[in-house]
Structure 1
Amino acid sequence: MYICFWNLILVCTVIGYFCTAVQAYITDIKLVTCDGHRACPNFPGYKKLETNLNAGTKRSQIYMHIKDDPSSDPITDLLILKTPDPPKATGWTRLETDLNHNTVFDNQTAIWLYFTKDKRLSVNPVTSIIIKEGDSPVVGAEYRRLPVDLNEGVGGMPLYMFYSQLGPKEYLFDKNPITALTAKACFTDVCYMDGWERVEKDANEGVIVGMRIYLFYQRKRNSPPVTDIVLVLDDQTAPEGYNKVEVDLNFVTFRGASIYLWYKTLSNPSEEEKSTAIQQVAIEYGQNAVAPLGWERLSVDLNSNHDGKGGFGEPTFLFIQRGYHELPPRQPLVFRKDGTFKIVQLADLHFTNEVGKCKDTPVEFDCKGDDSTIATIERLLDHEKPDLVVFGGDNIDGNGCYFVFVLFCFVLSFVCVCIYIQNLVLIPKTYISGAVTDARAATFKFAEPVIKRKIPWVAVFGNHDDENDLTREELFEVIRRMPFSLNERGPLELPGTGNFALQVFSNATLEAHALTIYFLDSHGLATKDTYDSIDQEQLNWLQETSANYAQSGKGTQKPNALAFFHTPIWEYHGAEDKSVPKLGDQRETISSPRKKKNLSVLDAFVKAGDIKATGWQALHAYGHDHVNDYCIEQKGIQLCYSGGLGIGGYGAAHLGWPRRARVWEINRFGEGIVTWKRLDDGALTLHHYQTLL
């Protein structure tokens, strides 16, 4: 829902070049073991992964800690071996702790984790490691699965490790293209093949009757690369020279269409043919699935009827990537020649990968779900022409309706057959209002209007974004690979994902750092009915970052700064004091975290700039509460709501209060700030123009 936006005057020194993308590679791994009855300590300077690697065994707790030291070489690959006698492997480092440490079983259950930094073995740096529970957990397409259950043979819950790899330009072309494809039909999602990488989405998602169908691929050195993939329906003739995957992708369904995948390999390819070979395949759910940069969508719906379109299950499309496509170079953020810098804040879009919902719209409005929100965003961007777009959280809708539907079917089982077996849900989610079955596809969708216009952008996370199939960490790995994204993970050891700062310079020569923009992860729910708050560690980092900036050209004064995050801080309740001036509306209760005795986010912001000594101010922008859009001043800091824009989230348009977006214009090269709102009323009416600084 909200975002927070503040303006701070900071003292800064420009260290390095803003536009250099910060590539946070994992450089070290530690395993910390402790007694099962005591809390495991954190390893200083490392991020602790919160899953106990011995979960369910009632024995030693084991936690993985990871580090991203920019002065160290990155880890480039991982390996897990199950053996009582772990071998020494050339180029690999073995962690000395058995992942099944101190279980009641003998050492036949021992599992060992290795990593390498040897570029002769692998050249793609590891950027993320996650642990997931279950026999077949859903995971992002950017991740690889290590095919060993970390609790195999010791009675604990199934646990699997996944990791994501990325690389700068010199690494990418060393990666082998795909050399073979196949498919497998299974009764459940526990569907894997030894020696093959799985495409992490069921090609038969959402069918009433049918098998789970998964695609698999291999990469083998010195083997002919795959240069093309086609989908053939029913009795259509396949192209000459293609290899058939002998599994019907509509196996055991009632629709009648048979769909087979055929692929072509090329012996002795030229260098040009190698550079356009198939490097990746992925599946997206949703009728209007967006093709990210460098990908192309095959036109046949894998859940289609005989015409290749429609069908009863989830609209499912196969995407292929030919070769590698470099992201556009990351450019520095700079003020325009007239001294202005404009930000458009888009809060609470509540996108889905489906058609989307229409909530609280006027009866006469021809609502088309997400497409209506996209149309508004496109008109707004074309009108304002911003220098930066900030997606303010709850960019993706939460997935609450699906399980209600399952319960409804159970209660009405005499008219509705609902089969819900472990990892086997045969209910067509595509027809359930608001169900998000593919957060990755929803991310491509909400960012596309900005990417098409080549506008730099940042997405902060709200409380709903990670309620679906992907975690914040997985969503970050999606976003960091998208064109014009300026997202950074930030210091790995900080709570949350996406605590970082951007600098805006006075001109293209980067002579003066004139504005700072902070982004903070405000987390999600702390308990069932209370929101989590920004942590002290995040505030310490912000204060340290502020102190380290030294501004050239402004003497000892810090440049103004803005901060964006989703959930409002407690001090927004100041609007309930009728004596406090505010411009804008408060139409709902402020849903902030509860006030903490020893933690004041606002006080930390004030302390960061030493407002009494330097006279800096702070400005915060929030989303979250969709029908609040006011600004108030607290302790010299402007606290501003944006108001919700997405038709998929609740609103008050049906009561005559249009959805809206906030625009920020920083002028006089960072010395002044004005703001206004644009209403989604057909005319993009300018509303509440306000000078804040």
Structure 2
Amino acid sequence: MTRRIVRTSLQLGSILFIVLCVLLFLDNKIRLLPSAIHNRLPAHHPGLVVTDVTITTCSSLNIFGSCKLDETKWHRIEKDLYLGSALLSKAYLHIERKKEEDLEANDAVVIDLKISRLNPANTQEAQGKESWESRRGGVWIKRSTKWHGSDSSKTITGVDVLFGSDAVDPRPGWQVQEIPLLLDTRADGREARLTVRRGPAAKIDKPTPRINQNGKFKIMQIADLHLSTGLGKCRDALPVDHNGGKCDADPRTLEFVEKMLDEEKPDFCVLSGDQVNGETAPDSQSAIFKIAEILKRRKIPYAAIFGNHDDEGDLDRAGTMAVMQDLPYSLSEAGPIDIDGVGNYVVEILGRGSTAHSALTLYLLDTHSYSPDERQFKGYDWLKPNQIDWFKKTSQGLKKKHKEYTHIHMDLAFIHIPLPEYHNPSGLRVVGNWSERPSAPGFNSGFKDALVEEGVVLVSCGHDHVNDYCVPGTNDKGKPALWMCYGGGVGFGGYGGYYGYHRRIRFFDIDMNEARIHTYKRLEWGATESRLDDQMIIDQGKVVV
């Protein structure tokens, strides 16, 4: 027994001695590393840097062909650079990325990227002093082993793909290349363009919307933009001879939006669905970025909900919201994951000054798309019971806090598809244009009643492009209890033009001093300087008919 213990002790001692020797050896090896390598170790939390860029092509007919590279080394941007327009070919951009901490002494980092038919080193400015490497599609990259870290503006840390001659990138630090990729594609205005980020991925600070010092606050509802990938094609554009009959949908739509932003100077925008025209937007990201860039430049906070066309492109609702949540000035949220739909959330507009109390609460809800039971309820989907329960619980949970506001607090709601009560069963006076039958769901899930019960004074929708009216909704005693409005269609990529109807935008001009709301529309063509159907709908926090 004693011998066994002695033998075991000797074995353990030998193992400990060997381990100690190995540690001392490794320590000496580390201490003997060249100073140049020591200097390359990051002194801060490392980020990703781009070490190479390439494009792969493959045939659609070759079942054994693949546009994929080694996934352990390359990250593929999952967008066909031809957008499906090439009959027999596909092409994808691949990016090699590494963490700073994983870079080795001889690793080169991409510090510049250009699109050109000729070697950029041969330009007059470069005079052959620069070394550029050629890649497919006219891509030229310049790499250096003397990199400056992922926090340097000289280091490329991200490359992405957008489409269209009007492509823009609202993300901080990103810039779209002026020249599209040189691929054998048809000239349909949806050519692929690279967008490049230099330096670290910027943290997006969310703005805090607040009532102005004069007690005023203006909301601009942008309904049914129907933006495309590329310029888009106009539908029902009036007047027919405008701009010599030439009409590209997205430029004309966005020119109107920009004009209204500059003239009306809203404090907040609500994108009330169908921002994307699904069938003409094979790359939804490129379409969304166009409206986001306009709002970013003017530093206007905004929130978005979805319509029935927003997920008909390459992104579903969750993917689209993921894009929108990470954009500057966007307060858009996916909402609770256990509630039906994507985009059920609340935006609080704080009172003037430095108060932390809410003056206005905006409820935004997802009205989904098409009826899940077309045989019994034709047309469109409806708000689900758990959404209505979520709304009521949220509203009731906020009421105590809202009472701390020194003035009258008001609740507003925004949806895309109109409620069945937009048919005006009570026969009350309608203010505005009613040119088509409301495309409300065939099943009434009771959301209007929930809005009334919780004291919401206004709900506004989109969806029906050529309706722009407001109609009162009644309570259980038949008395007007809230206003139900349409935004009016703004986008030239969607239908319009019925009975001489021109695109328009609705505004809600709010005076918190009197708890008063005026609403009106502005036209894209015609009486562009006057307010159409200007009416006071709320006074002292109560519905005015």
TM-score computed with the length of structure 1 as normaliser: 0.62
Q: Is the 8 A contact 1:285 1:437 kept in 2?
A: no
Opposite residue 395 of structure 2, the aligned amino acid is S
| Equivalent residue number for residue 409 of structure 2 | 559
Query: Cα offset for 1:394?
Result: 0.8
Query: Cα offset for 1:370?
Result: 1.3
**Any residues of structure 2 matched to 1:675-686 within 5 Å, and which?**
675-682=519-526, 683-686=528-531
1:472 aligns with 2:317: yes
Distance 1:190 1:688, change over 3 A: farther
2:251 pairs, out of 371, 390, 394, with 371
The runs of 5 or more residues in structure 2 that have no matched partner are 1-43, 123-127, 475-480, 539-545
3-state SS of the aligned residue for 1:334? coil
Query: Cα offset for 1:208?
Result: 4.6
| Equivalent residue number for residue 340 of structure 1 | 216
| Equivalent residue number for residue 176 of structure 2 | 297
Q: Is the 8 A contact 2:49 2:150 kept in 1?
A: no
Q: Is the 8 A contact 2:147 2:155 kept in 1?
A: no
1:382 aligns with 2:231: no
CA RMSD of aligned residues (A): 2.7
1:349 pairs, out of 225, 230, 235, with 225
2:382 pairs, out of 527, 533, 553, with 533
Q: What is the CA deviation profile of residues 200-248 of structure 1, one whole-angstrom value per residue up to 9, with x for unaligned ones?
A: 22234455566322221222321432211223316775665546355x3
Distance 1:304 1:561, change over 3 A: same
Opposite residue 594 of structure 1, the aligned amino acid is G
Query: Cα offset for 1:511?
Result: 4.1
Q: What is the CA deviation profile of residues 12-57 of structure 1, one whole-angstrom value per residue up to 9, with x for unaligned ones?
A: xxxxxxxxxxxxxxxxxxxxxxxxxxxxxxxxxxxxxxxxxxxxxx
| Distance in 2 of aligned mates of 1:441 and 1:524 | 22
Q: What is the CA deviation profile of residues 100-130 of structure 1, one whole-angstrom value per residue up to 9, with x for unaligned ones?
A: xxxxxxxxxxxxxxxxxxxxxxxxxxxxxxx
1:283 aligns with 2:161: yes
1:213 aligns with 2:105: no
Q: Is the 8 A contact 1:551 1:558 kept in 2?
A: no
**Any residues of structure 2 matched to 1:142-221 within 5 Å, and which?**
174-188=46-60, 190-194=66-70, 195=72, 196-205=74-83, 208=86, 211-220=89-98, 221=102
1:672 aligns with 2:511: no
| Equivalent residue number for residue 273 of structure 2 | 393
1:267 aligns with 2:145: yes
| Distance in 2 of aligned mates of 1:621 and 1:207 | 39
- Number of residue pairs the alignment of both structures matches: 461
Distance 1:273 1:472, change over 3 A: closer
1:226 aligns with 2:105: no
| Equivalent residue number for residue 463 of structure 1 | 308
Q: Structure 1 or 2: larger helix share?
A: 2
| Distance in 1 of aligned mates of 2:46 and 2:513 | 44
Opposite residue 657 of structure 1, the aligned amino acid is Y
Q: Is the 8 A contact 1:303 1:314 kept in 2?
A: no
| Equivalent residue number for residue 87 of structure 1 | none
Opposite residue 482 of structure 1, the aligned amino acid is L
Distance 1:202 1:173, change over 3 A: farther
Query: Cα offset for 1:676?
Result: 0.8
| Equivalent residue number for residue 459 of structure 2 | 620
Opposite residue 648 of structure 1, the aligned amino acid is G
Distance 1:273 1:484, change over 3 A: closer
| Distance in 1 of aligned mates of 2:333 and 2:233 | 30
The runs of 5 or more residues in structure 1 that have no matched partner are 1-171, 250-258, 400-434, 610-615
Distance 1:207 1:313, change over 3 A: farther
**Any residues of structure 2 matched to 1:391-430 within 5 Å, and which?**
391-399=271-279
| Distance in 2 of aligned mates of 1:473 and 1:622 | 21
| Equivalent residue number for residue 600 of structure 1 | 446
Which has the greater radius of gyration?
A: 2
1:658 aligns with 2:542: no
3-state SS of the aligned residue for 1:226? strand
Query: Cα offset for 1:344?
Result: 0.5
Deviates most, 630-639 or 179-188 = 179-188
Distance 1:217 1:691, change over 3 A: same
2:420 pairs, out of 570, 576, 596, with 570
Opposite residue 133 of structure 2, the aligned amino acid is K
Instruction: Tell me the percent identity.
Output: 33
Query: Cα offset for 1:552?
Result: 5.6
Query: Cα offset for 1:273?
Result: 7.0
2:435 pairs, out of 562, 587, 592, with 587
| Equivalent residue number for residue 649 of structure 1 | 494
Distance 1:552 1:364, change over 3 A: closer
1:521 aligns with 2:369: no
